[in-house]
Amino acid sequence: MRAASWQEFGAGIITEAPPAPRPALTRSNSPFAPDSRTNAAPDRLECGVFPFSGTVIKPLSDRLATLLAIAALLAAMLAFALQVVYQDANRAAFITFNAFLQGLPAGLWASVSVLGSSLGALALFAPTLRVRPRWAAAMLLSMPFVWLYSQGFKWMMDAPRPPQVLDQSVFHFTGTLPPDPAFPSGHATTGFCLAAVVTLLPSRNYRALFAPVALALAVAVALSRIALGVHWPLDVVAGAAGGWICGMLGVAASGHWRFWEGRQGIRLMAATLGALSLLLALQNPGHPSARLFQWLLALWGITGAAMAWPACRAGHHA
């Protein structure tokens, strides 16, 4: 409202100026920019409830994202080199870390480890379909990279796991020994892929909240593999570095293929994540004490996927 003169105030003829137009938020060209729904076409705003819409978008800069990718690549290369040259030091470090981590119960480590499986991580992301569908899309798109990186180098390096090399009297091993080679850790790869997605996609305000939690969870997943006695330290270092790169690739792919903005894309992801969560419930966790947590995580994923369908039918807009 404009300022009124004393004459106008006394005469009661104060007029109201038209409201200033609200500046439109423009979508950043950076593939690492958070998804903004405010400029999307009306026919593409058909699903979900987006409580963060209208906030000022502060995307992660391309320069910082590039530096993080280079750091992860260098860490992966270093882990590969050390794996070949310093096997004795790797074994000594494993025995030390494995003994130290026994301060927490094996059942807790086994439950945390479930979050690092591909099915477990995807089930964890299922509820984001309703509020932040790009997060789920980025995680789904990163999974092929995770599989190619972890499984490809596993069979290329063909490194034995600790129980296949060490006398089990010198370390703690619990659960079922996975059948595939050790290097790199697939669980650490998935865990840090998850951390990359949660770190790169939120706006600056929410990144400060979500990123530390995601990184702490990824570190816990990586340590759980050592605590359970199924991975060497360099396995999880290489997995963490590769997982971060895979997560960045998934985020970039979700910025290029924006199927998550439409009704059919949401429904396809909901059906996929719901089916994978059901498969998680039927999977052997490798440790009996992790069975209950695995079922709860599967229920979390199925419920999150199911919640996305009513939003699609109702046609919620941002």
Report whether 154 contacts 242 (CB < 8 A).
Answer: no
Q: Tokens standing for 221?
A: 């997943």
* Dist. CA 294–CA 318, nearest whole Å: 33
Instruction: Provide the pLDDT for residue 140.
Output: 94
- Site of tokens 């599967």: 298
Instruction: Provide the pLDDT for residue 7.
Output: 46
Whole-angstrom CA distances from 130 to 127, 151, 224, 306, 311 are 6, 32, 30, 10, 7
Question: Of 244, 236, 243, whose CA–CA distance to 83 is shortest?
Answer: 236
Question: Of 308, 301, 242, whose CA–CA distance to 115 is shortest?
Answer: 301
* Dist. CA 70–CA 66, nearest whole Å: 6
Report whether 180 contacts 214 (CB < 8 A).
Answer: no
Domains and CATH numbers, the chain: 62-314 (1.20.144)
CB-based contacts of 285, cutoff 8 Å, min separation 6: 110, 114, 291, 294
Residues of the chain with pLDDT under 70: 1-69, 71-86, 203, 310-318
Instruction: Provide the pLDDT for residue 58.
Output: 42
Instruction: Provide the pLDDT for residue 76.
Output: 67
pTM of the model: 0.76
Whole-angstrom CA distances from 33 to 38, 135, 144, 264 are 14, 12, 22, 23
